Amino acid sequence: MLHVIPQPEPADFDSKVRQKGLAHLKKYGYALDRPLPPKANIKAYWTSCLDDLFDKYSSTCAYLAVHIERVTAIGNVDHFAPKSQMPAEAYEWSNYRLVCSRMNSCKREFHDVLDPFLIENGYFYLELVSGQIFPDPDLDSATKESVIDTIARLGLDGANCRRLRASHFGDYIAGEFTASFLKKMSPFVWYEARRQGLL
């Protein structure tokens, strides 16, 4: 997981998403400052800005820090502040994170995941050969605990995630990936390889 620089709201976002969403909430009497009623199903106007998220965030999953193929893989809009609990944030660009479907299904409405907009690079370390992810040992105890909670909640150290990262580094070592291609496909692996002096 790497720090993600928040990108500016698209020029047409207000008309395409925010205004339609707020009108929808008002139409059904949903209060902006209270959780949605159980089983409330609000309009997913945010899906119309998915292409913008792909463009502005270089097709990179905010949590897994790997490239999401627009055609063959599924990219989702994650509401960092859960829309069911904070309807006022349901149609706000600043609350959206581009994520792969796996990370979106793990994050759901939990609050124990660090915000990629707010973390610093270096919170998460990587053992490149195995793909194991773990917190920087020198972090203060509270931050380290938050990193551990994030890894657990998102399953970032699961077997499939480990294999993915290890294979990306292995492809680079074998000469199948250039350093620039590794940076595009697997930014976290690239960052850690560079930090460890292996690029």
Give residue 79's pLDDT. 95
What's the CA gap between 155 and 102, in Å, rounded?
A: 9
Over its length of 199 residues, how does the chain's per-residue pLDDT go in tens digits? 999 999 999 999 999 999 999 999 999 999 999 999 988 889 999 999 999 999 999 999 999 999 998 876 677 999 999 999 999 999 999 999 999 999 999 998 999 999 999 999 999 999 999 999 999 999 999 999 999 999 999 999 999 999 999 999 999 999 999 999 999 999 999 999 999 999 9
What's the CA gap between 150 and 113, in Å, rounded?
A: 5
Give residue 120's pLDDT. 96
> Which amino acid is located at 139 in the chain?
L
- Beta carbons within 8 Å of 144's beta carbon, 6+ residues apart: 135, 136
Answer left, alpha or beta for residue 39, where phi above 0 means left and psi between -120 and 50 means alpha.
left
